Amino acid sequence: MGIVSIKEKIIDSIQNNLDIKSVRKILKLISNPIVFFLYGLSFKSVSDKYLNKYSLSYMREVYCGNHPIAYGSLFIPYEILNSLNLKLILPEVMGGFTAGLGVTDKTLSNAANNWYSADLCTFHRSASGAANMSLFPKPDFIICSNLACDAACKSFEDMAKKFEIEDRFYLIDIPYENDEISLKYLAVQLENIYFDISDKLKIKPDINNLKKALINSNKLRSHLLEVNKIREELFDYPQYYNGLSYILPLFGLSGTSKAAELYRIMEKELKAKLRKQIQPGKMKKILWMHLKPYYRNEIFNILEENGCRVVCEEITDVFWEEMDPEKPFISLASKMISNPLRGNGQNRINTILSMAEKYKVDGAILFSHWGCRQSNGLARILKDRLAEIKIPLLILDGDCVDKNNCPSGQIKTRIEGFTEIINSL
Amino acid sequence: MEIKIEESFADSIKSSASLNTGRGMVAYTCSYIPEELIAAANLIPYRVYGNKESNLADKYFPINFCPYVKAVWEEIHHNTILDAIILATSCDGIRRLNDYISYYEKELPVFMLDIPRKSDKDSLGFFAHNLKNLWIFLCGISNVDPGNTDIIKASSSIINRKRTLLKELTKHYEADMHQIIKNDDYFNIINISLSSETDTFNNELESYIKKIKSLKENYDTVHNDFKSNLKIMIIGNYINDNNFWSIFENLNVKLISSDICITYRYFDIGLEKNYEAPGLENDIFTDIANSFISKPACFRMADIKSKLNDIKAQIYENNINGVIFASLKFCDNTLYSFPALKNELNKMKIPSIFLDIEYGKSSYGQLKTRIEAFIEMLNL
Amino acid sequence: MYSCGIDIGSVSTEAIILKKDDNDNFDICSYVIGRTGSDIKTASENIFNDALLKAKIKKEDIKTIIATGYGRKNVSFANKNITEITCHASGVLSVFPDVKTIIDIGGQDSKVIKIDKLTKKPIDFLMNDKCAAGTGRFLEVMAKALDIELENFGKIFFNTNEKIEITSTCTVFAESEIVSLIGHGVDKGKIVKGLLYSVADRIISMISRLGLEEPVSLTGGVAKNSGIVGALEEKLKTKLLIPFEPQVTGALGAAALALKI
Ligand SMILES: Nc1ncnc2c1ncn2[C@@H]1O[C@H](COP(=O)(O)OP(=O)(O)O)[C@@H](O)[C@H]1O
Ligand code: SF4
Ligand SMILES: [Mg+2]
């Protein structure tokens, strides 16, 4: 039996017996050394292989029941949580995971039955449905912030209520401005959370662990900087490589040595590709904004077929400065505050414009995920600003999680129309 | 005898429409923005209503975007008499509104007031700091000396009189089972209070309340045509839509203890000093920050557990028969709170109905059918 | 004693006349179904007169007239108007007293009403939003796109084994999806089956929010579409109770309520 059909079989079995036990069983099955080896073979890129094997063993740890679990929203300082040895689950990962397994019809309708409006972001709707259906281990802590959006705070609060851990629910309030007072306001919150969680875990906080996490995170940062520099010139990508696949390590696992290692491997792999690249290709370069669909889809193939390649993603930009391990809370607060999705939209626009210039892109795509107010709300200004520097923007309406909200025929027509414009420039 | 709102509040209505007072006008969007600061800077605070009619905003914002933000954008685009606009970091929608105004309406000064989501000491200090910056911004608009904070106290007392009067109006409205104050009239009066010159409004409201009182004394003995005693609680966000309230015009219900942005959350603000303040500045900004952070909270601010407890208490205390949950469409903070509320109401066996409000663009016919059916259901 | 119920829907207008005997039982004297058209006033008057004619009585014989449906406020000769939610509940309960869930699918909207088992009164309901998916109109548009008579949907449903998944939930998208499926030579029967399931899914998502409780009744013009009945019964795993003439249920309820006044 080939690895592909094993995969299909597994997915089939999950779809039909949806509960935590079946997920656990399957994780165990894949972790069998032979299957695990075969699983690794199904990836063409070294970093993808590392990512997937590592994610899998991470998931096993998450599910094994031996570690305290935290649910966290995308841009919180995971260095803190990793230094406390929490195992982490992100809604983006839950949403992506459920989309990848093809069970979102069920998770979304579970959320709908519980009065989650269809106007809301599907990452959070699907995560809520999955949590209701006990597809993920019960959390010991829930930590969220309003960076980048309101959705996380509220949907997580609702989860905390359902799991009856309101006293272990932390909201990190992100200031709008970037000044001394705001920075301090944020740093104090982070510090309180660190000590409160340690307290509840009944462990003596070891600030050295936190420092180590910051050092790891800095390593990741410097590898990622290199990776991004390589990508400014690289055309010959490893097959199926896509920066948008690395949400878990880039955010959720930042602060771990494994995540830093992954980016070291990625740097090595891409560097080798660049060295072997004989001449710059004729591909048109595309900048990608927001996330991508996490179910099977043809978007990136359609782009390739039409001579376009995504060379940079908004989400993989290194927006933060190197952190000072001696001042962990201020450093982490400063990392959060530098996030371009925080505060004024100008922050994001500046980042996009400078990326567009750095990577010399020919066009940009904003994946307009249904119900994402913060990102889609800025689309019109982004379009106008990019037009000023003669870069066409495609606002691609779709949904990262719900394939039914993303008609493939329409997507294809739009992308092809867009690539025709770019290729004629 | 019927009291006509347009007549009783003629001067207030005029004071908001034209600028014959000679004072500047500053728009604001959220009940957490203290009007007293705007008024103290000798400017008329105007809770921006939004232009609900035209469709320019659709060219700028996505289709699934807050209809209030769109309506405000529309109004800002056409309104030439505003001196500035104050926004708050209430939600992603307003954050984007700030971006659009800064980019496409560059001449209009805009201030973004950062409102913390928590109410601990650090948040209070942070909020006070932001309020001070707002004050400096406002003084810049009207050339007032920001050092003179005594004028804030004076202004506070005028605004507080408005709050007290609105509370009194509400008391009469809620206790009045003869519809002397009609459902839609009550909300129209609040709407007028949001955008008129405060002294003018206060005086008119005071005499209106007097009239109501005397009418009521005669009414109790003579008439008894108002049959239903159904008490409905409306819970939601910025529901300020005359078309919506007019659905209730001739319905035999009372809207009691409404929990929306323009009722208690707007005027139930106490300015008493009831906080310990070691490490905090002991100034007027901390006072204001404290009273605003401890006023009845909206769904963005409240933690869901205490919000539900508050609602439960209101329902029991007022013998509420049913709950209408009305949310502006696409409001994440509100929509995410509904599942928990619905669950709680089901447990309490309180019937409830969920309504999407598109702020001027709703299909009112269908809304009317739903509301009427809901009331028929309660009446059966 | 006679009463009359008039239901002015988006597609059809119905009138029904009831007669109550001394034991509080009632008989149906007559009922008429017509199209609403653009002139509600004329439509309601004509249909009312037809119903009088059929019942062989005069207007003066009728004690109370209740109007319902989206045009309920425009019936000048009615004594009262009541929403279609309350009227459908009353209509169904007068035929099937034990029903706990009522589905009504009309031309422009669909609703689900939950009945309390003890009091036999509606305790909760849901209506579709503005969007037309999951309504009779949606089916009409699709029938036109497919060039198949609506009346044949039922036969097709039961004679086709496979279905094509219709993923678009919006009428406009679904229509173009269907046009493209036809273009690709997909068997129309499978498309019809897919469409019927997609409408059923919409309805079921409303039912799940309120919680399914049996017995379930289906009313409204769409209840005449045996394909929808089949799809819903299959997915809900229950038999649907359908009143003798599902389209007049609203009018029947209005007339029944009028007898109580
Ligand atoms: N004989 C029939 N076969 C199939 N569908 C029918 C039939 N008659 C009516 N319908 C459906 O019923 C819908 C109208 O339902 P109706 O209850 O009359 O609506 P309304 O109450 O809004 O006027 C039509 O759109 C059509 O889809
Ligand atoms: S997609 Fe948008 S709305 Fe959803 S979680 Fe991400 S930022 Fe928030
Ligand atoms: Mg009808």
CATH number at residue B64: 3.40.50.11890
* Residue-wise pLDDT tens digits, A218-276: 999 999 999 999 999 998 898 889 999 999 999 999 999 999 999 999 999 999 999 99
For residues C196-219, average pLDDT:
92
Whether B180 shows a pLDDT value over 90: the answer reads no
Average pLDDT, chain B: 90
CB of C208 within 8 Å of a chain A CB? The answer is yes
Q: Which residues surround ligand 3, an ion (CB under 5 A)?
A: C 9, 106, 250
Residues of A with CB under 8 A from a CB of B: 114-117, 119-121, 124, 146, 149-151, 153-155, 157-158, 161, 166, 171, 173, 175-177, 181-182, 185, 188-189, 343-346, 368, 370-371, 373-374, 376-381, 384
Instruction: State how far the Cα of B77 lies from the Cα of B70, in Å rounded to an integer.
Output: 11
Closest ligand to the CA of C220: 1
| Contact predicate C258/C66, CB 8 Å | yes
Ligand 1 centroid to Cα of residue A53, in Å, is: 56
Averaged pLDDT in 10-residue chunks for chain A of 425 residues: 62 74 80 80 87 89 93 96 95 83 90 93 94 93 94 93 95 97 97 97 95 98 98 90 92 96 97 88 92 93 94 96 98 98 97 97 96 95 96 94 84 90 87
Ligand 1 centroid to Cα of residue B357, in Å, is: 28
- Chains in contact with C, where contact means 3 or more Cβ–Cβ distances below 8 Å, are A, B
Ligand 1 centroid to Cα of residue C91, in Å, is: 17
CB of B340 within 8 Å of a chain A CB? The answer is yes
Q: What is the residue type of C43?
A: A
Instruction: State how far the Cα of A12 lies from the Cα of C43, in Å rounded to an integer.
Output: 55
pTM of the model: 0.91
Q: How many CB atoms lie within 10 A of CB B191?
A: 20
Question: How far is A109 from chain C, CA to nearest CA, in Å?
Answer: 7
Dihedrals phi, psi of A87, to nearest 5 degrees: -95, 135
- Positive or negative, the CA dihedral B190, B191, B196, B201 is negative
Q: What is the residue type of A303?
A: L
Query: Which residues from chain B sit within 8 angstroms of residue A157, using beta carbons?
Result: 303-304, 336
Radius of gyration of chain A (CA): 21
In this prediction, residue B220 has a pLDDT band, given cuts at 50, 70 and 90, of low
- Residue B366 to residue C127, Cβ atoms within 8 A: yes
Instruction: State how far the Cα of A351 lies from the Cα of A340, in Å rounded to an integer.
Output: 7
Instruction: State how far the Cα of A396 lies from the Cα of A414, in Å rounded to an integer.
Output: 8
Across the interface, of A149, A171, A373, the residue whose CB is closest to B117 is: A171
In a domain, B124, yes or no: yes
* Residue-wise pLDDT tens digits, B253-263: 999 989 999 99
Ligand 2 centroid to Cα of residue A376, in Å, is: 10
DSSP string over C94-112: HH-TT--EEEEE-SS-EEE
Residue among C6, C10, C12 to mutate when testing ligand 1 (max atoms within 8 A of CB):
C12
Q: What domains can be seen in chain A, in order of their start residue?
A: 3-205 (3.40.50.11890)
Nearest CA in chain A to C198: A404
In a domain, B120, yes or no: yes
The confidence score (pLDDT) of residue B274 equals: 59
In a domain, B94, yes or no: yes
For residues C45-69, average pLDDT:
95
| Contact predicate C112/C103, CB 8 Å | yes
The closest residue, in CA terms, to atom 6 on ligand 2 is A372
CB of B286 within 8 Å of a chain A CB? The answer is no
For residues C110-119, average pLDDT:
92
Total domains, chain B? 1
Q: How many CB atoms lie within 10 A of CB A195?
A: 11
Nearest CA in chain A to B308: A161
CA distances from B221 to A204, B2, B171, B231 (A): 73, 17, 20, 22
For residues B143-149, average pLDDT:
95
Work out which ligand 1 atom sits closest to the CA atom of C219: 17
In a domain, B295, yes or no: no
The confidence score (pLDDT) of residue A16 equals: 73
Q: How many CB atoms lie within 10 A of CB C39?
A: 11
* Local structure of residue B46 (DSSP, 8 states): E
Residue C75 Cβ contacting ligand 1 at under 6 Å: no
SS3 sequence, chain A? CCHHHHHHHHHHHHHHCCCHHHHHHHHHHHHCHHHHHHHHHCCCCHHHHHHHHHHHHHHHHHHHCCCCEEEECCCCCHHHHHHCCCEEECHHHHHHHHHHHCCHHHHHHHHHHCCCCCCCCHHHHHHHHHHHCCCCCCCCEEEEECCCCCHHHHHHHHHHHHCCCHHHEEEECCCCCCCHHHHHHHHHHHHHHHHHHHHHHCCCCCHHHHHHHHHHHHHHHHHHHHHHHHHCCCCCCCCCCCHHHCHHHHHHCCCCHHHHHHHHHHHHHHHHHHHHCCCCCCCEEEEEECCCCCCCCCHHHHHHHCCEEEEEEHHHCCCCCCCCCCCHHHHHHHHHHCCCCCCCHHHHHHHHHHHHHHCCCCEEEEEEECCCHHHHCCHHHHHHHHHHCCCCEEEEEECCCCHHHCCHHHHHHHHHHHHHHHHCC
Domain that holds residue B79: 20-152
Question: With pLDDT > 90 as the criterion, what percentage of chain B qualifies?
Answer: 73
Smallest Cα–Cα separation from A63: which of A97, A109, A107?
A97
Longest dimension (CA), chain A: 63
Closest ligand to the CA of A119: 2
Measure the CA dihedral B56/B57/B59/B62, to 10°. Answer: -160
The confidence score (pLDDT) of residue A107 equals: 94
Which residue carries 């009922």 as its tokens? C31
Whether B368 shows a pLDDT value over 80: the answer reads yes
- Residue A407 to residue C173, Cβ atoms within 8 A: yes
Nearest CA in chain B to A181: B126
- Residue C127 to residue B363, Cβ atoms within 8 A: no
| Contact predicate B296/B235, CB 8 Å | no
Q: What is the residue type of A223?
A: H
Query: Which residues from chain C sit within 8 angstroms of residue B366, using beta carbons?
Result: 109, 127, 130
Which residues, other chains included, contact C209 with Cβ-Cβ below 8 Å and sequence gap of 6+? A112, A113, A115, C126
Ligand 2 centroid to Cα of residue C237, in Å, is: 37
In a domain, B356, yes or no: no
- A316: tokens are 């993989």
In a domain, B97, yes or no: yes
Question: How far is A114 from chain C, CA to nearest CA, in Å?
Answer: 7
Across the interface, of A112, A403, A404, the residue whose CB is closest to C205 is: A112
Residues with CB under 6 A from ligand 2: A 121, 123-124, 148-149, 151-152, 369, 372, 374-375
Across the interface, of C70, C84, C123, the residue whose CB is closest to B351 is: C123
Query: ipTM exceeding 0.90?
Result: yes
- Chains in contact with B, where contact means 3 or more Cβ–Cβ distances below 8 Å, are A, C
Q: What domains can be seen in chain C, in order of their start residue?
A: 2-96+247-258 (3.30.420.40), 105-241 (3.30.420.40)
The closest residue, in CA terms, to atom 2 on ligand 2 is A372
Whether B15 shows a pLDDT value over 90: the answer reads no
The confidence score (pLDDT) of residue A101 equals: 81
In a domain, B269, yes or no: no
- B253: tokens are 């219900």
Residue C139 Cβ contacting ligand 1 at under 6 Å: yes
Radius of gyration of chain B (CA): 21
* Residue-wise pLDDT tens digits, C134-183: 889 889 988 998 899 999 999 999 999 888 888 776 777 778 888 888 88
Whether B276 shows a pLDDT value over 70: the answer reads no
Whether B124 shows a pLDDT value over 70: the answer reads yes
The confidence score (pLDDT) of residue A1 equals: 45
Nearest CA in chain C to A111: C209
Instruction: State how far the Cα of B180 lies from the Cα of C222, in Å rounded to an integer.
Output: 45
Residue C140 Cβ contacting ligand 1 at under 6 Å: yes
In a domain, B128, yes or no: yes
